[in-house]
Amino acid sequence: MKRIMAITIFFEILLVGFLAYSIMEAASYWAFTALFSALLMPVPALLSARDVIRLPWPMVTSIGLALVLHNIGLVTYWYDTTFWWDKLTHLVSGLVISSLVAVELMLLDQRTVSIYIPPIWYLFLVPIAILTLEAIWEMLEYLVDQLLQVGMQHSLADTANDILVNLISGVAGGLGAMYYLHRHPVEELIAELHAEKLVRWFVVRFGEPDRR
């Protein structure tokens, strides 16, 4: 928990710095992005403090890295001047989200009666979930561009490349989930994540697990 708090504080300081810089530059879109990032960063630590789920520190670090990279791309204009920066941020954020989706599916699947997902299906379900979220994100980018003219979407090719990068991250998350399930029991995952409270909620909502 101390390591998670230290990581959270480190990235929170950076994000607040981006917020202050954006306000000084009178860049409202940058400021909104930095503010949203600063509010999102403490969520894993809060969930851990409330004993809901304790994400491992590499995942918390990845969340912070994804948020910081996105803000760096805005304030440096690297999204406009460096062709691969957008792909890097999509890849990092896609890997983070695919990992979270895989963990949620594993906990839900393995601890409930009414749901069963064979391990091979993670290779399909995780990418489908990521592509769905990516579609929602691209629609939001289009809406923001139409309302604020901030240039989030550069071209159809850029959008297609973003979708491809997120598909790659989704496949990686699905493969990771398959690998884990073949080598570790779900009880080990629950113990590592301190997710007993979340599992109890699943049991109340969906019923006791039965894997006979």
pLDDT, tens digit (0-9, with 9 covering 90-100), for 6-65: 999 999 999 999 999 999 998 888 899 999 999 999 999 998 888 788 888 888 999 999
Name the residue among 91, 86, 90, 67 with its Cα closest to residue 7.
67
pLDDT, tens digit (0-9, with 9 covering 90-100), for 1-18: 788 899 999 999 999 999
Terminal CA-to-CA distance of the chain, rounded, Å?
Answer: 36
- Scan for tokens 């792909």, then name that residue: 87
Predicted local distance difference test score (pLDDT) of residue 181: 83
The fraction of the chain above a pLDDT of 70, given in percent, is 84
Which runs of consecutive H residues, i.e. helices, occur in 1-121? 2-24, 28-40, 43-49, 57-75, 78-81, 85-110
Q: Which range (88-92, 167-171, 187-191) has the least confidence?
A: 187-191
Considering the chain, what is the average pLDDT of its residues? 84
